[in-house]
Structure 1
Amino acid sequence: MFAVREWFRFLKTREGPISRAQPEFTLTAVLLGLAIGCLICFTNLSLGLQSGWISMMSIQSALIGFLISRMLPTPLTPQEIIVVQTTAVATGTMPLAAGFVGILPALTLLNEDRDGSPPIRLTWLAAVGWSCSVAFFGVFLSPPIRKQVIIEEQLPFPSGTATAHLISVLHQLPPPDTTVRRRNGYRQIDQEEEDTRTEAATTDVVVEGDANDATERDVIEHEGWHDLIWSFAGSGALTLSAYFFPVLFTIPLFGSYLAKEWLWFFTPSLSYIGQGIIMGFPTTLSMNLGMFAGWAILSPFSKLSGWAPGPVGDMSSGARGWILWVSLGILCADSLVSLLPVAFEYIAEALQPWRQGYSVTSTNAFDSSKHPHETETEDRLVPTQWVVVGLLLSVVVGTVLVWIVFGDEGIKPWATLLGFILGGMLSIIGVRALGETDLNPVSGLGKISQLFFAWIQPGNIVANIIAGGVAEAGAQQAGDLMQDLKTGHLCRASPRAQFYGQLIGSSVSIIVTTTANTLYNRAYAIPGPSFPAPTAYVWLSLARLLRGGQLPENSASFMAAFSLLFALLSALKTYSAKRSSWVAAWIPSGVAFAIGFLNTPSFSIARLIGGVAEYVYRTRFAKSGGDIRLIVIASGFVLGEGVVSIVSLVLRTVGVGVVSCFGCGHGLCGGCPSTL
């Protein structure tokens, strides 16, 4: 009750040196954040079940919130926009954090003879219970991690910093102070000396920067709504047309034979193109390199060699199931190697006092003058008491709820408890990696948790998947929310206001995500042609392997070779990034490369179109506001398909079918009788 009273006192008085002048946690901001977050939630659930890839959409949430606020009698303040963004992200990322795109579909694929457990399909109420068990642990974990990685270490968090710059531009504020200390010994960068050397040049840069900022702001205010509406409408119209004429999303661009036998077709989804714009050219290029290696080389090679004799798309005996193992090796190798420098540095810093004999006076490593102090007052921070009580309650209640939903045969309570503890430790590693590289390696962290639980509870596939999901959820959620907290820190938003937004967004998303998942499962076969849920097979395949299963014929050697290759590439990429070398951006991302294996070529090709568009705009039009404008258009593309997919879902639920299956002779069109 104290927390509730404090919440409403904060909402009423808006205490704090900044919030007295600028409203922050307001009803308008929360409702707008929830509305945007619900759209993102449906979009992410659909895209996640299709490709295994979702987007935080933090920049997009801030942009849309700003555009809508221009229509209100009193436009929202920058701090309110940050609350909008924070609430939207907490609402929209639940499909991945709670495992609706991977863990839960994997449980439906269980086979009693092979796995020792029948398929597990949760009811709506059981799915709500599962979501509640993992929805709040990462939220309460965020405040103490924020103090370490944002306040003490000042990690850059590129996406959060970019969002802060955007909000500053839109609201005509001075650019946020993004000075980052060198982490080695926490040496402060000497800005005064730099300013003295470049005083004259700085004046010219500021003038040019102000002109560019004004251009970007004009683009958003005068053309933003127009761009968002036409991109949203175009994407939605194409999506609805593809529902009635499914061949529009399964075009046999390379011929009917390749489409039918080898799954080479093209899906001209504007949402995929928008995702490619958001992901960027280097990432989409890595994804398409993986797609080509997997589907143009390894897939036919394994099929023609007799190692994968089944249909190409079969995940058990076909080439798609064979290359899945190569993908899994790449995912594990890339994620683990990229985490090693962060883990080693973290351990080295933790052991530094012991190596120096606790002599604080003899070293500058822990000199208080070298550490920046918290810029917020106590009344704007999340009280430690709330964090401790919230963490304990989320762990205890979460453990009980998992036990109620899955029972003793599914997972023992002590194993779930260990999952939360492991999730807390992995969250620190994942957040630090995210802060430095803008990539939260939750896929690799999830595999670490599966390896751990295969050791402590061998032979139990259900426990392996569930406990791994509990650990992954904390790391995923803490990382996503940390980007928002970085934005808030740079724009001087109240951490407590963001904390409230995170709690509300996560709470509402439990119902929204569970309901959306139930509707999708009633209308479609998941995994199935329309929603293959590729990450579900990754979770299940590793769990089966750890239980004592065997790899497909000759897949182990290819898995080892690609794992070694991408371990070396990941090490080189990490080394180059540490030295701010341009080479790092063009070394293929192992995670993106592996995603190219998991999905059929249609998912990757459309994203490459978006990546190319992003590259052209960024290199030719960024100085005239084209970069910001492209983000608005990409947001409309993604949200348009996500919203209209709700309409398609309703149509299928009430029995409205396709108008024509013309051109669907290859049997790949979702909704046509030949594919049902």
Structure 2
Amino acid sequence: MSAWTCIRRYIGQGIRPSGTSQAEFTLPAVLLGLLIGCLLCFTNLYFGLQTGWISMMSLQSALIGFLISRLLPKPMTPQENIVLQTTAVATGTMPLAAGFVGILPALGLLDEERDGVPPLHLSWIAAVGWSCAVAFFGVFLSPPIRKQVIIEEQLPFPSGTATAQLISVLHKLPPPDTTIRRRHTGYQALTVEDGDDGHFPDTPATADVVETVEPPAQEPVEQKESWMALLWSFVASGIMTLLAYFFPIVFSIPLFGNYLAKEWLWSFTPSLSYIGQGIIMGFPTTLSMNLGMLVGWGILSPLSKYSGWAPGPVGDMSIGARGWILWVSLAIMCADSAVSLLPVIAEFITKELRKRRGDDAAEHLKDNNEVETEDRLVPNSWVLWGLGFSVLLGILLVWLVFGNEGIKPWATVVGFIMGGLLSILGVRALGETDLNPVSGLGKISQLLFAVIQPGNIVANIIAGGVAEAGAQQAGDLMQDLKTGHLIHASPRAQFYGQLIGSALSIVVTSTAYNLYSRAYTIPGPSFPAPTAYVWLSLARLLRDGQLPAKSGLFMLVFALIFGAIAGLKAYAVRRQPPYAKWIPSGVAFAIGFLNTPSFSLARLVGGITEYVYHRRVVKDGHDIRLIIIASGFVLGEGVISVVSLVLRTFGVGVTSCWGCGHGLCSGCPAS
């Protein structure tokens, strides 16, 4: 029986947990998941093009799905809620998985004189073809990886575990069993000490913003109170967004004066959505980001400008300070990701050597770890046929979209192979540390293609995107599968949700990107797409070998510093000392370089709010009020941005450019 036949069969009667009469894969769960996922898709594309940072939003999807399900005649079961949030995540994260926030804008930045090829701007149908090429490979990779990292190795996946804990609270279930029956000293059951903030490190730019929430000691927030908090936060953020569209100064306040705003890009964006994202990220992550902002924009930017290393305007990505510090940011991200992977690779090799020595007892234990029956698992035949079909389809579509001059078919095959290998490393790192180092993994693929297809910038970027897509998607879906494992949801039901969500998101993401491209210049003032410059800059460096003046020395110094910090963090995360979460995140630090100060400052406000709330306001337990408000803030701006897009498309401009003398106001002539 084919996968799609089973989907049609089960969507009517629903997959049911063993020994119960409760359905899991149901029409309401799938439809609500798709609805929430579409909202997340627009939201993630909007913020991804602005900042390079998107959110997996699995916890928010589960929360919003639960609240909406209270309005249905028959409330959803916990397992249905998991199918809902799995479908939503698969739909909402396609802007990053398919490279709409980095790869496609990077191709649009190509310069024929410098790169030998003109800019590539994909049509809607070409964007759909590219998305189809990379949309399903990670989905079919997830079942075998699940068996390895969730069932056999029982890695913790903190964010997936946190979502399971929240769902157990919402549905008034006993807390999920997070004890690990294996000989690994790095993981302990997730607990939150008195007064702790309950957050784990988050992954920026080329991964997800996620948060962990320990089950509250008290009863969950009342349904009516939850709805009101979500509604008012959504409305407040939406009003703020529309106000900023008609009066751009609202989101471009020259906090330190017009001179610093105009000449050095120091402004403040009091976006409620940015604040909500800061709440979700947590104080440690936003602190790392703002430390990076201070070093990058407060020290290195003026240094490079006054030393003559970056003579152009500060905001110029080619000859200005912003383009100069980009290289230091790239060095930090690569060093952090590479060092973070070393313990994962070492452990992987050690386990493989143990297998070869024939540890029969360990193999017997592994065989007994699976708790699901065969009819609830994804058959191996589906995985093999699906992987084969998705690779063949991907090769064909990439060739049709980019042609032989873009990337050779055999090179696309290598990209998928790299994606499979890097997915295993990325998922293992994510499972241990809650950080998916896909930024570094994509750069590894770029390094390989600089050797096997030298001089071809388009192939370098596309191959990196193919490899990164698999690693990113497999990581996102593994968090959901960990949630399902703890709540005893059917992996097959989640697999169906992943397929459906990914399929719909191909059209939604391509359409949204096409609309934004018609209304705005991408990259441009409104949507700078900072990660596009990272992809293109590395591709150019690997081809030409030329760095801006003196940047190589600073890249080396910062790479060594953050390589050492990443090593310390990897060690600390596995030993769980109290100070582990306060060790700076290299990737978050680098994001502070990539984006202007306005991006980081507002998120710091959210991080401080989260810290104070859990230290001063909620002292005797944890509740979900703040998460509900933060979710409303994020969704409000993301959804209302579609209204702004429609207004811009029909030529409705700003009402007043009062106060925009610094030239940073989106939509004003001076900008």
> Which TM-score applies when normalising by structure 2?
0.94
Partner of 1:353: 355
Q: Are positions 1:537 and 2:528 aligned together?
A: no
Contact (CA 8 Å) 2:280, 2:630: kept in 1 or not? yes
Partner of 2:240: 238
Contact (CA 8 Å) 1:160, 1:483: kept in 2 or not? yes
Residue 328 of structure 1: how far off its partner (Å):
0.3
Residue of 579, 583, 587 corresponding to 2:579: 583
Residues 19, 29 of structure 1: alpha-carbon distance in 2 compared, 3 angstrom cutoff: farther
Contact (CA 8 Å) 1:69, 1:75: kept in 2 or not? yes
Contact (CA 8 Å) 1:274, 1:634: kept in 2 or not? yes
Partner of 1:293: 295
Partner of 1:119: 119
Contact (CA 8 Å) 1:153, 1:183: kept in 2 or not? no
Contact (CA 8 Å) 1:338, 1:570: kept in 2 or not? yes
Q: How many residues matched? A: 647
Please give the residue correspondences for 1:617-632 in structure 2 after superposition, counting only pairs within 5 Å: 617-622=613-618, 627-632=623-628
Partner Cα distance (2:284, 2:106) in 1: 30
Contact (CA 8 Å) 1:254, 1:265: kept in 2 or not? yes
Residue of 366, 376, 383 corresponding to 2:379: 383
1:337-360 per-position Cα deviation (integer Å, ceiling 9, x unaligned): 001000111011112233x3x3x4
In the alignment, residue 174 of structure 1 is paired with which amino acid?
P
| Residue aligned with 2:173, SS | coil
In the alignment, residue 401 of structure 1 is paired with which amino acid?
L
Residue of 392, 395, 398 corresponding to 2:391: 395
In the alignment, residue 76 of structure 1 is paired with which amino acid?
M
Percent same amino acid at aligned positions? 73
In the alignment, residue 276 of structure 1 is paired with which amino acid?
G
| Residue aligned with 1:177, SS | coil
In the alignment, residue 254 of structure 2 is paired with which amino acid?
P
Please give the residue correspondences for 1:143-158 in structure 2 after superposition, counting only pairs within 5 Å: 143-158=143-158
Residues 242, 181 of structure 1: alpha-carbon distance in 2 compared, 3 angstrom cutoff: same
Residue 120 of structure 1: how far off its partner (Å):
0.3
Residues 213, 553 of structure 1: alpha-carbon distance in 2 compared, 3 angstrom cutoff: closer
Q: Are positions 1:174 and 2:170 aligned together?
A: no
1:122-161 per-position Cα deviation (integer Å, ceiling 9, x unaligned): 0000000000000000000000000010111111101100
Contact (CA 8 Å) 1:41, 1:92: kept in 2 or not? yes
Residue 222 of structure 1: how far off its partner (Å):
3.5
Residue 392 of structure 1: how far off its partner (Å):
0.3
In the alignment, residue 602 of structure 1 is paired with which amino acid?
S
Residue 221 of structure 1: how far off its partner (Å):
1.9
Greater CA drift, 464-473 or 610-619: 610-619
| Residue aligned with 2:670, SS | helix
Point out the structure with the larger helix share. Answer: 1
Contact (CA 8 Å) 2:461, 2:539: kept in 1 or not? yes
Partner Cα distance (2:398, 2:413) in 1: 10
Residue of 181, 194, 218 corresponding to 1:215: 218
Residue of 501, 504, 516 corresponding to 1:508: 504
Partner of 1:453: 449
Residue 621 of structure 1: how far off its partner (Å):
3.8
Residue of 328, 331, 335 corresponding to 1:329: 331
Please give the residue correspondences for 1:15-94 in structure 2 after superposition, counting only pairs within 5 Å: 15-18=15-18, 20-94=20-94
Contact (CA 8 Å) 1:574, 1:584: kept in 2 or not? no
Residue of 441, 461, 472 corresponding to 2:468: 472
1:362-403 per-position Cα deviation (integer Å, ceiling 9, x unaligned): xx4x25146642111111111111111000000000010000
Partner Cα distance (1:179, 1:317) in 2: 53
Partner of 2:644: 648
Partner of 2:310: 308
Which structure has the larger Rg over C-alpha atoms?
1
Residues 543, 626 of structure 1: alpha-carbon distance in 2 compared, 3 angstrom cutoff: same
Residues 152, 245 of structure 1: alpha-carbon distance in 2 compared, 3 angstrom cutoff: same
| Residue aligned with 1:547, SS | helix
Residues 128, 602 of structure 1: alpha-carbon distance in 2 compared, 3 angstrom cutoff: same
Contact (CA 8 Å) 1:617, 1:627: kept in 2 or not? no
Partner Cα distance (1:19, 1:136) in 2: 32
Partner Cα distance (1:301, 1:630) in 2: 40
Residues 17, 281 of structure 1: alpha-carbon distance in 2 compared, 3 angstrom cutoff: closer
Contact (CA 8 Å) 1:108, 1:119: kept in 2 or not? yes
Partner Cα distance (2:409, 2:474) in 1: 23
- In structure 1, the gaps of 5 or more residues are 191-210
Partner Cα distance (1:17, 1:243) in 2: 48
Partner Cα distance (1:632, 1:497) in 2: 27
In the alignment, residue 515 of structure 2 is paired with which amino acid?
L
Contact (CA 8 Å) 1:83, 1:498: kept in 2 or not? yes
Partner Cα distance (2:78, 2:215) in 1: 19
Partner Cα distance (1:5, 1:17) in 2: 20
- In structure 2, the gaps of 5 or more residues are 190-213
Contact (CA 8 Å) 1:34, 1:87: kept in 2 or not? yes
Contact (CA 8 Å) 2:15, 2:25: kept in 1 or not? no
Q: CA RMSD for the aligned pairs?
A: 1.8
Residue of 594, 608, 612 corresponding to 1:612: 608
Partner Cα distance (2:482, 2:94) in 1: 20
Q: Are positions 1:519 and 2:515 aligned together?
A: yes
1:56-77 per-position Cα deviation (integer Å, ceiling 9, x unaligned): 0000000000001111111111
Contact (CA 8 Å) 1:14, 1:20: kept in 2 or not? no
Residue 36 of structure 1: how far off its partner (Å):
0.5
Partner Cα distance (2:186, 2:317) in 1: 52
Contact (CA 8 Å) 1:29, 1:81: kept in 2 or not? yes
Partner of 1:481: 477
Residue 17 of structure 1: how far off its partner (Å):
4.6
Partner of 1:201: none
Contact (CA 8 Å) 1:235, 1:636: kept in 2 or not? yes
Residue 549 of structure 1: how far off its partner (Å):
3.7
Residues 622, 393 of structure 1: alpha-carbon distance in 2 compared, 3 angstrom cutoff: farther
Partner Cα distance (2:375, 2:12) in 1: 14
Partner Cα distance (1:546, 1:498) in 2: 40
Partner Cα distance (1:109, 1:605) in 2: 28
Partner Cα distance (2:247, 2:118) in 1: 37
Contact (CA 8 Å) 1:169, 1:175: kept in 2 or not? yes
| Residue aligned with 2:624, SS | helix
Partner Cα distance (2:298, 2:329) in 1: 15
| Residue aligned with 1:251, SS | coil
In the alignment, residue 49 of structure 1 is paired with which amino acid?
L
| Residue aligned with 1:89, SS | helix
Partner Cα distance (1:71, 1:12) in 2: 21
In the alignment, residue 33 of structure 1 is paired with which amino acid?
G
Residue 626 of structure 1: how far off its partner (Å):
5.6
Partner Cα distance (1:345, 1:575) in 2: 13
Contact (CA 8 Å) 1:79, 1:493: kept in 2 or not? yes
Partner Cα distance (1:187, 1:64) in 2: 33
